[in-house]
Structure 1
Amino acid sequence: MLKTHSLDAVIIGAGVVGAACAYYAAHAGLHVAVVDRGSVAGGTTGAGEGNLLVSDKEAGPELDLALLSAGLWRELAAALPASVEYEAKGGLVVAPDESALKALRTFAEGQRAAGVDAVELAADDLPGLEPHLAPGLAGGFLYPQDAQVQPAQAAARLLAASGARTYPGEEVTAVLRDTSGAVRGVRTDRRELCAPAVVNAAGTWGGHIASLAGTALPVLPRRGFVLVTEPLPRVVRHKVYAADYIADVASGSAALQSSAVVEGTPSGPVLIGATRERVGFDRTLSVEALRRLAAQAAALFPVLAEVRVLRTYHGFRPYLPDHLPAIGPDPRVPGLLHACGHEGAGIGLAPATGALIAAALAGARPPLSPAPFRPDRFADAR
């Protein structure tokens, strides 16, 4: 079996989070390798819409991470040598009635205190921003900091720019440890990669990788569907969703939840997400989930009622019980770091996650406190 030395870290996972970890580690002067059982962006990243959102996050650690990432994504969009289709389109959250608008107003007040730009809109303001929105809405909030990237391209560009050695199509079968229990690399079905640090950026398989290292992380898959329409003129200008989406994101329910997020794309098709349900890794097509999405999208934008849906796709978000990712060193296993559990926000939070991981690997000062994302916070994970 081949053995590769002279690495500072091995990153497990070639999605956008793993790619961001590799990119920022390289910028810190570290030599890393990235290994993935599939292809680059072949898991959750490739099934995402590319959301870079601050609008759906309440004041707290995740919002702080999102704001840091928002600035880093702007820098990356300018720095990467090829396009990641970064689009600063802004988000529009709409309220169907005065009660929902009042709740959004309270939510936005907390966000503003954390540094979010949230602009309240009256009902009469909405048609000027989105001419095809349904009439009768009570108002909403505009979030100029919300943006979009093409997620698979973003992962590929970050990984290429990192210069990391990349090993797609190789499953990690063991996390290697020395006699003291400290990490010393990984074994795949083809080779051993030796390094004093291993980063678990395996997304929905993060719990499995943790177990290979002799510890536990309660990552579970949460399935979601997306509809893709035929190409259209730009009938949806922003990322638009109703207020109930915020509650769905924060919910821990295992049952099917659906709240439409509607957005146009530069190439023409409209993307319609998002559903959430915990059904393990069941890839069965859910007609009920698709029906709900289509109906909710048409309720927001009646013009979509007669539009053809060309395809649908789905993936699995890496869910942790408190809705915060696990980021940083695991004190239970020296040399093991985690960068997973971002659920549906991994694309948006990837740069900040990568910056935190790079700081931990290099022994540098982190850009924000990693304490809320401590991997060992789940005392009963086993």
Structure 2
Amino acid sequence: MTSKVVVVGAGVVGAACAFHAASAGMDVTVVDRGPVGAGTTSRGEGNILLSDKEPGPELDLARLSRTLWDEAGEELGPDTFELESKGGLVVASGAEGLEALREFAARQEAAGVRTEPVDRVRDLEPHLAPGIPGGVHYPQDAQVQPVLAAAALLRAAVRRGAHFRTGEVTGEVTGAVTGRDGRITGVRTAVGDVLPADAVVNAAGTWGGEVGRRLGAPVEVLPRRGFVLVTEPLPPMVRHKVYSADYVANVASSDAGLETSCVVEGTRGGTILIGASRERVGFDRAMNTAVVARLAAQACALFPFLRGVHLIRAYRGFRPYCPDHLPVVGPDPRVPGVVHACGHEGAGIGLAPATGALVTAHLLGRPWRGADPAAHTALLPDRFLTPGGAPE
């Protein structure tokens, strides 16, 4: 009998889960209270990065995901979601920072990442400020247009037989239906109907904690607000994703206060994206002009030509993060049939294909598309549970 799977969330992670599960022959239904990619997916820069990840569980997932993004581009067409293998350039502001950056890169290279130390960074990026002592080039870093990527994966899932329902009422999951043994048999929606399910995938992004609670399997997924600035369209001026070395430290930080580190990259449409900020303010959507000014100043220091360029907008969103900065991917022991796929923070777009493959492997009980559950136990939700099964 074909397994029935309900995926909660139509962002890029949910879309990837639906794509892989449908590819494996499962009967998939994707539900979301909003449009495709309307949450965190629409607020990101589309990064597919290896350069910012320490060797360990997240980098392992990122390396698999990088391969699967290329495979998706071959199948769906790279122009469908603007897949660009542009590479990343991480730069240091001083000699001490450069030494630390290259030590970090050496550890990554030992873990399978391609790295290329660069002394003359302006050979790669002619418009960088003078005086930068060096950096590291990461040729595997890439970028997609995230909403297009989510939509393309969902369309491919639908071609494989998946179903999709959206809307504030029909797509809102309010609770789980379980059998006498406690196993999931379906989910309830806001209109009171029940969608039958042998498994439910919690791919609700920043709302993954709330959806987990409604399913009887809460996980600690919290919002971390960030701003991105967008310039007017320009001729090609920035060739890679360029960021300062302190960006890596900010990604790994658990501080609640505001942190900013300079990230600059161009898009296919000619605009330049400027980030990145992180702060824990709950779901406060207020515009903070001080953050915008700080990001703009850091970008202009890195690329002086930006001083004469107009900003056309600034947008903000919420990264779904877990306290240990690793996503939660895998079955929840408290409610058999619940599988989590959330908490990716700012790496969800890059990690989406491997997350979808790993979720499918858990559902199948065997490896799928290079994802082996036995190799990714550090991502399981068990790590947050006490011996009695309660969250720590």
Find out whether 1:34 has 2:30 as its counterpart: yes
Q: How does 1:209-358 map to 2 (within 5 A)?
A: 209-358=211-360
Q: CA deviation at 1:6?
A: 7.2
Letter in 2 for 1:309: L
Distance 1:207 1:347 in 2: 19
Q: Does the CA contact (< 8 Å) of 1:6 and 1:194 recur in 2?
A: no
CA distance in 2, matches of 1:162, 1:200: 17
Match of 2:163 in 1: 165
Identity %: 59
Which residue of structure 2 lines up, in the alignment, with residue 147 of structure 1?
A: 142
SS in 2 for 1:26: helix
**What CA distance in whole angstroms lies between the structure 2 residues aligned with 1:148 and 1:215?**
33
Do the aligned residues in 2 keep the contact of 1:30 with 1:362 (CA within 8 Å)? no
Say if 1:6 and 1:195, in contact at 8 Å, map to a contact too.
no
Report the Cα distance in structure 2 between the residues aligned to 1:275 and 1:184, rounded to whole angstroms: 41
| Partner deviation per Cα, 1:108-164 (whole Å, 9 max, x = no partner) | 111001110110011xx2111101000111100000000000000000000010112
Tell me how far apart the structure 2 counterparts of residues 317 and 177 of structure 1 sit (CA, whole Å). Answer: 31
> 1:7 offset after TM fit, Å?
5.7
Contact 1:240 1:262 (C-alpha < 8 Å) held by counterparts: yes
Q: Report the counterpart of residue 97 of structure 2 in structure 1.
A: 100
1:49-68 matches, cutoff 5 A: 49-68=45-64
Q: Give the length in aligned residue pairs.
A: 376
Would the aligned equivalents of 1:7 and 1:194 in 2 still touch at CA under 8 Å? no
What secondary structure does 2:64 align onto? helix
- Alpha-carbon offset, residue 245 of structure 1: 0.3
TM-score normalised by the chain length of structure 1: 0.96
1:365 CA displacement: 2.1
Contact 2:2–2:25 (CA under 8 A) maintained in structure 1: no
SS in structure 2 of the partner of residue 34 of structure 1: strand
Q: Is the 8 A contact 1:332 1:376 kept in 2?
A: no
Unaligned residue ranges in structure 1 (runs of 5+): none
Counterpart Cα distance in 1 of 2:195 and 2:121 = 55
Instruction: Please give the alpha-carbon distance, in whole angstroms, between the structure 1 residues aligned to 2:2 and 2:379.
Output: 29
Runs of 4+ with deviation above 4 angstroms:
none
Give 1:175's aligned residue. 176
- Name the residue aligned to 1:85: 82
Instruction: Tell me which residue corresponds to 2:198.
Output: 196
Paired residues of 1:7 and 1:33 also in contact (CA < 8 A): no
User: What is the one-letter code of the residue matched to 2:80?
Assistant: S
- Secondary structure of the equivalent of 1:59? coil
Match of 2:378 in 1: 372
For 1:106, the aligned partner's letter is E
Contact residue 33 and residue 166 of structure 1 kept, 8 A: yes
What is the CA–CA distance in structure 2 between the aligned matches of 1:23 and 1:141, rounded to whole Å? Answer: 34
Residues 94, 141 of structure 1: 8 Å contact kept: yes
Deviates more, 1:55-64 or 1:179-188: 179-188
C-alpha distance in structure 2 between counterparts of 1:43 and 1:294, whole Å: 24
**What one-letter code is carried by the residue in structure 2 that aligns with 1:138?**
P
Cα distance in 1, alignment partners of residues 187 and 35 from structure 2: 18
Contact 2:217/2:338 (8 A) holds in 1: no
Indicate if the aligned counterparts of 2:260 and 2:276 stay in contact, CA closer than 8 A. Answer: yes
Where do 5+ consecutive residues of structure 2 fail to align? none
Q: Deviations over 1:313-368 (max 9, x none)?
A: 11100010001000011111100000000000000000000000111112222524
TM-score calculated relative to the size of structure 2: 0.94
